[in-house]
A and B are shown apart, each in its own frame.
Chain A
């Protein structure tokens, strides 16, 4: 049996609330420490305790870290999901299970490893009774480590990090890992081909979740005011701010340069954020779909009264309450025109954890420069799961506080200014900030019709003029928005456009499409709406463009079709939303299905190369 090294997936089935996350994170971190590219995804229910929950870990020597739909190693700890877990093992795979689960083993095509978890825990007399279930999870860590080759010192390093150097819990957990490993060594015979071996492919990289990255990025952006209301999957973003602000913004006088307010609901959360943005603070809120729906009226007010704020939307799948713990990219068209009347939004679309950090600080610069709400659309998979990433980079430009007039500016202007006057011809007016003591500093902010001096007016021409200026401001915005990331392939006539967390799955699928089906693709990942000129260029230079996204209706495809009506027939929507993170398989199969429907002929790359060579030879003759 040939060894399969550093290229397989593990899934652990446990009960929600049983404390398995420490064990799963330990496996993930230890593999990362071994230098092997790895990702971890928590597939959890909307529940506090008792329902089945799974954690998947993918190790891949080539760095493909999207979700896979097959798992070679399945660890079953939960009797309620035992049958399902057993059935899910890929043929030739391995099945580890807690041997107190007395259910029939119905598979002969896989390696079966019973684990006496309870017995091993009981054998360690030093563990207090109420810790046994919790620490018991470490038994499977130890058995797996022994069987696939996870190094114990790396597990120790992971535990050391997890428990922040506290010796007692480190020892208690590590002893259990060792007991599991020793038992496996003495009692289990390896019958499957899956191994981990050290590499050096994670040197200099970090592991982080997108919500933490976004929070820390926002802090480096000088965030001063956060108002939020708890909602899965966004809560951990605001909570990370509460965690990291004291450390990163510590002062000698122990006073605070920031405030984080848990509001009574999302209406108030964004209302406070708008108030704080209006009074000159770098203000933000974070939420998910249902909260976003509530925030709509304030988004419209902030757009029209031109108040800079940042709104993070960690997308989960809707409509309505939907599946609160499942991922999605289905808020795009809603956010794009979030509000009644002619409302437009600036949207940033981070594609990975590193960009969550980067857009964390950049969003404030863009919001203050353009005096408008900036939405940052992340998703549950990016926000709550652990991703390998380049380290965060310190902001490479000073803060842009935009066009603000303080006392000395007003003195120079002799108080002659208008809040909504387009002085520079770019659609962006100047603003003053409450607390300004100049007697001409004040203006009256309103969601009602207003003229260049913020005075109420119902004059038709004035109203229309202001709306046209706002439109011009959005044209100006394009130069301030992040440009797309492109992966160009020589000779590719087919393009793929996507955004956000699907990048990992798409890049893996592109390799498969080229190798196995002769389909060469270039890929553009959009990072902002409205689209920047680089997107125009990509659309213009590709004949067929697959638009890949995690929703039912092809929302990015809709926006592209509207933005590029003359190219509308080039766009082929590959949209799918079931709440699960994209996998290379679903991207590949759906692109191929779509391709066949428009006449693409599947052939392998070798065939394609051969036929191309043939054509070339013919041409030569």
Chain B
């Protein structure tokens, strides 16, 4: 059993007494070089560094390459690999069981932006307390290379020809649907992925993380938007991001950066620090967020970083004013009305 750090604990153990290995999952069965594996690794690192107890996390996914990845990290967390495009509803119900748990969901661009667009939008409206990662590669890998809804118009794939449709911008969809945390990153930039994951974990509410994650097998033509080469060339970070743990935890050994910085206080007392690269970007302004997304699309940029955050909205379990004890720990006495209530009910039946 894991819980508290012990005096004289080995140096490779974090504050909850766990080694990094305790955060690992099964060996990946995805292709070598797949961006998704890099993301799994960053999840492992972020959770370890944030001293998260794996038992306090619920993993969710839908169907597709991306949705397989929750088996590749945090074996000690409960997980539910559900149905194509339906992960948000499973997660919404699943997190009602114990409101003290945090969800980490992994989806893909097909799972979220095609078949799952409806549920994706509605989980944001409800502000479920969950990190929602979209491993976005613009292509259906598991069925061997069809266009997804995030594929850019004009993309050419081997068997499919040319994509005739406009793409869905996941971050834009998230912002307009009142998601309370929206960020974009690139699997080829692991440091940023990890810092955004930490910020997303610290966020109290739904945190949408759109990570461009190239498909090395079916969509890695260097002119394609979701390829490594294109991503490296066109990545346009809004800022450098650093996550600082709550004050009662040991601070990470990272220097506060000089220059133009913006701090965003999180619900749990942690802070994310944004060092702006080019402009005084304010991620708490929804209008600005939409402007930046529009601007990057027009300029063919891949705008990465924290695009939007709002820290004052209640999460779903708060909206429902649930009892302090997790619902799934309630006993019969809490759930079944007392015997005398049956007479009261019968008196109303007329």
Distance, CA A456 to CA B28, complexed state (A) = 12
Residue of B nearest to A357 (CB): B345
The answer to whether the Cβ of B78 comes within 8 Å of any Cβ in the partner chain is yes
**CA of A521 to CA of B156, assembled, Å:** 72
A279 engages B86 (CB within 8 Å): no
**CB within 8 Å for A278 and B345 given contacts A257-B334, A435-B100, A439-B2:** no
**Contact A271:B89 (CB < 8 A) given known A279-B95, A279-B96:** yes
Is the beta-carbon distance between B83 and A268 smaller than 8 angstroms? no
Tell me how far the C-beta of B104 lies from the nearest C-beta in chain A, rounded to whole angstroms.
13
A398 and B174 CA atoms in complex are apart in Å by 46
Choose among B86, B89, B342 the residue with the greatest number of A CB atoms under 10 Å from its CB: B89
Whole-angstrom distance between the alpha carbons of A251 and B96 in the complex? 19
Q: Is the CB of B80 within 8 A of A278?
A: yes
Contact A442 B77 (CB under 8 A): yes
Query: A444 near B81 (CB under 8 angstroms)?
Result: yes
**Contacting A443 at CB < 8 Å: which of B78, B88, B98, B100?**
B78
In the complex, the answer to whether A271 meets B55 with C-beta atoms within 8 Å is no
Q: Decide if B350 touches A272 in the complex (CB within 8 Å).
A: no
Give a binary string over A253-296; 1 marks a CB under 8 Å from any B CB, 0 the rest: 11111110101110111111111111111110000000000000
**Residue from A224, A244, A275 having most chain B Cβ neighbours under 10 A:** A275
Which residue among A254, A257, A438 has the maximum number of chain B CB atoms within 10 Å of its CB? A257
Q: How far is the CA of A98 from the CA of B336 in the complex (A)?
A: 50
Chain B residue contacts of A399, Cβ below 8 A: 332, 335-336
Q: For the complex, what is the distance from the CA of A437 to the CA of B54, rounded to whole Å?
A: 9
Mask, A443-454, CB within 8 Å of B = 1, is: 111111000000
What residue of chain B has the Cβ atom nearest to residue A432's Cβ? B78
Partner of A263, one of B71, B89, B101, B342: B89
How far apart sit A269 and B122, CA to CA, in the bound complex (Å)? 12
Q: Does B328 contact A (CB under 8 A)?
A: yes
Task: For A264, give the chain B residue with the smallest CB separation.
Answer: B122
- Proximity bits, B323-337, A CB within 8 Å = 1, else 0: 110111110101111
- Shortest distance between the CB of B338 and any CB in chain A (Å): 9
Partner pick for A257 among B2, B59, B327, CB 8 A cutoff: B327
Interface residue tally of chain A, by bracket? 35 or more
CA distance A122 to B250 in the complex (A): 81
Contacts of A448 in B (CB 8 A): 81
Chain B residue, CB-CB nearest to A277: B93
Given contacts A279-B95, A438-B1, A446-B81, contact A264 B119 (CB under 8 A): yes
Q: Does A175 contact B (CB under 8 A)?
A: no
Chain A residues within an 8 Å CB radius of B97 = 275-276, 278-281, 433-435
Find chain A residues with CB under 8 A from B259 CB. Answer: none
- Closest A residue to B337 using CB positions: A248
CA distance A283 to B337 in the complex (A): 17
The answer to whether A221 and B336 touch across the interface, beta carbons within 8 angstroms, is: yes
Give the docked Cα–Cα distance between A278 and B58 (Å).
11
Contacts of B32 on A, CB cut-off 8 Å? none
Q: What residues on A are CB-neighbors of B122 within 8 Å?
A: 263-264, 268
Specify which chain B residues have a CB less than 8 angstroms from the CB of A283 in the assembled complex: 93
Does B323 contact A282, Cβ atoms closer than 8 Å? Answer: no
Is A442 within 8 A of B55, CB to CB? yes
Alpha-carbon distance A257/B331, docked complex (angstroms): 10
> A391 an interface residue at 8 Å Cβ cutoff?
yes
Contact A437 B94 (CB under 8 A): no
* A444 and B79 in contact, given A272-B89, A392-B342, A433-B97 (Cβ under 8 angstroms): yes
Among B55, B327, B345, B349, the residue within 8 A (CB) of A436 is B55
CB–CB A298/B83 < 8 A: yes
* A303: interface (CB < 8 Å): no
Closest CB of chain A to B328's CB: distance in Å?
3
Interface pair B101/A435, CB less than 8 Å apart: yes
How many positions in chain B have a CB within 8 Å of any CB in the partner chain?
Answer: 58
Whether the pair A255, B83 counts as a contact (CB closer than 8 A) is no
**A298 adjacent to B118 (CB under 8 Å):** no
Given A29-B350, A255-B323, A264:B118 Cβ within 8 A: yes
Closest to A456 in B: B71
A301 within 8 A of B: yes
Q: With A and B bound together, what is the CA distance between A524 and B45 in angstroms? A: 63
Given known A-B contacts A276-B94, A278-B94, A434-B97, A442 and B335 have beta carbons under 8 A apart: no
Please indicate the chain B residues that have their CB under 8 angstroms from the CB of A253 in the complex: 323
Interface-central residue, B77, B320, B349, by most chain A CB under 10 Å: B349
B190 → A minimal CB distance (Å):
25
Partner of A274, one of B54, B70, B77, B90: B90
Residue numbers in A under 8 Å from B101 (CB-CB): 434-435
The yes or no answer to B185 lying at the interface (CB within 8 A) is: no
Residue from A221, A255, A256, A268 having most chain B Cβ neighbours under 10 A: A268
Q: How far is the CA of A436 from the CA of B324 in the complex (A)?
A: 16
Query: Measured between alpha carbons, how far is A394 from B341 in the docked complex, in Å?
Result: 9
* Contact between chains at A207 and B350 (CB < 8 Å): yes
Is A600 at the interface (CB under 8 A from chain B)?
no
CA of A395 to CA of B335, assembled, Å: 13
A221-B336, A271-B93, A283-B93 known; A442 and B79 CB under 8 Å?
A: yes
Within the assembled complex, what's the spacing in Å between the Cα atoms of A222 and B323? 15
Q: Mark B82-117, 1 if CB is under 8 A from A, else 0.
A: 110010111111111110110000000000000000
How far is it, in angstroms, between the C-alpha of A441 and the C-alpha of B328 when the chains are bound? Answer: 15
- Let me know if A279 and B76 touch, CB within 8 A: no
In the complex the two chains form, is B94's CB within 8 Å of A434's CB? yes
Q: Report if B75 contacts A (CB, 8 A).
A: yes
A423 close to chain B: CB less than 8 A: no
Cβ-defined contact, A206 with B349, below 8 A:
yes
Q: Which residue of A lies closest to B330 (CB)?
A: A257
- Return chain A residues, CB-CB under 8 Å to B8: none
Determine the distance from Cα of A536 to Cα of B141 in the docked complex, in whole angstroms. 51
B71, B91, B92: which has the most chain A beta carbons within 10 Å?
A: B92
Confirm or deny: B321 has a beta carbon within 8 angstroms of a beta carbon on chain A: yes
Instruction: Find residues 139-191 in chain B having any chain A CB closer than 8 Å to their own CB.
Output: none
Query: A442 near B75 (CB under 8 angstroms)?
Result: yes
A249 to B330, CA, bound (A): 13
How far is A476 from B335 in the complex, measured between Cα atoms in Å?
27
B326: contacting residue among A274, A301, A435, CB under 8 A: A435
A393 at the interface (CB under 8 A from B): yes
A334: interface (CB < 8 Å): no
Closest Cβ of chain A: how far from B71's Cβ, in Å?
Answer: 6
Residues of B within 8 A of A225 (CB): 93, 96, 327
B321 in contact with A255 (CB, 8 Å): yes
Residue A181 CB within 8 A of the other chain: no
Contact yes or no, A206 B350, CB < 8 A: yes
Residue of B79, B89, B95 touching A267 (CB-CB under 8 A): B89
B322 at interface, CB cutoff 8 A: yes
B335 touches A248 (CB 8 A): no
Q: Give the complex CA separation of A521 and B80 in angstroms.
A: 52
Is the pair A276, B93 in contact by a Cβ cutoff of 8 Å? yes
Are A301's CB and B350's CB within 8 A?
Answer: no
Rounded to whole angstroms, the CA-CA distance of A269 and B90 in the bound complex is 9
A196-234 interface code vs B (CB 8 A; 1 in, 0 out) = 000000000011100010001001111011010000000
Q: Which residues of B contact A277 (CB under 8 A)?
A: 93
Query: Would A271 and B119 count as touching, CB distance under 8 A?
Result: yes
A256 touches B81 (CB 8 A): no
Question: Is B248 among interface residues, defined by CB-CB distance under 8 A?
Answer: no
| Separation of A29 and B77 alpha carbons in the complex (Å) | 56
| Chain A residues in 8 Å Cβ range of B75 | 442
| Extra 4 A-B pairs, beta carbons < 8 Å, given A272-B96, A433-B97 | A264-B122, A271-B86, A443-B78, A443-B79
Which 10 A-B residue pairings sit nearest by Cβ, starting from the closest? A279-B97, A271-B89, A275-B93, A222-B335, A280-B328, A272-B93, A435-B98, A275-B94, A206-B349, A276-B93
- Residues in A lying within 8 Å of B, measured CB to CB: 29, 32, 161, 206-208, 212, 216, 219-222, 224-225, 227, 244, 248-249, 251, 253-259, 261, 263-265, 267-283, 297-298, 301, 389, 391-395, 398-399, 432-439, 441-448, 456
> Can you list 16 contacts pairing A with B, beta carbon distance less than 8 Å?
A207-B349, A212-B349, A220-B341, A249-B335, A268-B118, A271-B90, A275-B89, A275-B97, A280-B327, A432-B78, A435-B98, A439-B54, A444-B79, A444-B80, A445-B78, A445-B79
